[in-house]
Amino acid sequence: ESLSETLTLFYPLAGRIKDHLSIDCNDEGAYYVEARVNRPLRELLNLTDSPYVSQLLPAEPTWTATTAGGYIAMIQVTTFACGGIAIGAFLSHVIADGPAATKFISSWAALTRKCGEEAPCPNFDASRLPTECGIPQGGDPFSTVQPVVSALLSKCIKATFKAKSDIQKSTLITHTVNLRQRARPQIPNHSMGNFLCLAAALVTAKETELDNLVCHLRKEIRKIDADLITALQGDGGLLKYCEYMKEIGKGTNDNIDIILFSSWCNFGLYEIDFGWGKPTWVTCATESKSEIGMVNTIVLMDTKMGNGVEASTGVLGGAAHGYARAKPGATCVWHLGSESIKFENGLICLRWYIHKTKQ
């Protein structure tokens, strides 16, 4: 019932894919399935890198575009023998990026609790975005922690590239950036759609020092500012964005390695409460059994305690990938000064924690 109420507010999610740029709001509903597991939830939480985690999802993860007539939203609710519950959700990127998807889940949770609080009403109309900013300004909307984590991981991954091949290659490091807080006026957090842009830093094979990598990333991230967003919104904005992406694409050739980062930090995923408490563990689907995903793609997420960052990837090219696949129980550890990173359990799931300090 609460899911139906939520889909009434987020009505495009009850529609179907029309083409790669549009959807049909025909109110046919979302895909929903329930499952039961005759084992306690704690057993699964002890095997978080297990392929069994994918069975909590309503379908197999895919990197290919959804065909016409496909679902916008797919949900699976799994109940365990101990009474624990896991919720797996797929939302089409045609209509929602990470913050928008989180808003849908948190609104569903609020309606499930029925605690009297009003579920936030999403905004689907770009023309109705505020023309005057009533949102407090100031502060860097992109955490200072995320570029540091990304730079450290890039340093470690560059080491695997070097171990795999004697050819010295430059590396293109890309990072998704949420445009909502960078726009002037700011775009409301409950706005549905894809308010993302890619920042890209090209570093040479000799640039391996952590501080240099951090500076490169921060410099490119800061270029995505209010002026750039305003230019993209104006006349010829789509053409300008295509030109921007074309410049990034120049780095995608055989002589350059690519590392892609997507940050889910500060989404508030661990604050979502359906009425039985906040989640014990939140993760994202990064691997598919039937197809090759986006190689060297890493997703950053907050840890449960909120004092660290967890990084995960399903596909990683290089020596570590071959080693872990050949020895499923093996763990590879790179020690780079005081920094280390593990490739474990044959699934190439990276975890690295950095303690946040108050800004």
Domain boundaries, the chain: 2-124, 145-344
**Residue 217 is inside which H or E element, if any?**
helix 210-223
2-124 against 145-344: fold identical = yes
Q: What pLDDT does residue 289 have?
A: 58
Q: Kindly report whether the peptide bond that precedes residue 185 is cis, defined as omega within 30 degrees of 0.
A: yes
CATH assignment of 145-344, among 3.40.190.10, 3.30.70.20, 3.30.559.10, 3.30.230.10: 3.30.559.10
pLDDT in tens, 121-160: 676 665 444 444 333 344 445 556 778 888 888 888 888 7
Sign of CA dihedral 134, 136, 139, 142: negative
- pLDDT, residue 338, reads 35
Structure tokens at 336: 């780079």
Is-catalytic flag, 19? no
Q: Which of 19, 93, 235, 335 is catalytic?
A: 93
Q: Are 270 and 306 in contact (CB under 8 A)?
A: yes
pTM: 0.78
The token duo for 202 is 């090209």
Select from 3.60.15.10, 3.30.559.10, 3.30.1360.200, 3.60.10.10 the CATH code of 2-124.
3.30.559.10
Whole-number pLDDT of residue 303: 85
Query: According to the model, what pLDDT value does residue 320 have?
Result: 40
State residue 13 phi and psi, 5-degree precision.
Answer: -70, -15
Q: Can 125 be counted among the known catalytic residues?
A: no
Q: What distance in Å separates the CA atoms of residue 230 and residue 226, rounded to the nearest whole number?
A: 6
Looking at residue 146, its pLDDT comes to: 79
Give pLDDT, residue 85.
93
Q: Which of 24, 49, 190, 273 is catalytic?
A: 273
Asked if 284 contacts 263 with a C-beta cutoff of 8 angstroms, the reply is no
Q: Which of the residues in the chain have pLDDT under 70?
A: 48-51, 62-65, 115-121, 123-144, 249-254, 286-295, 314-359
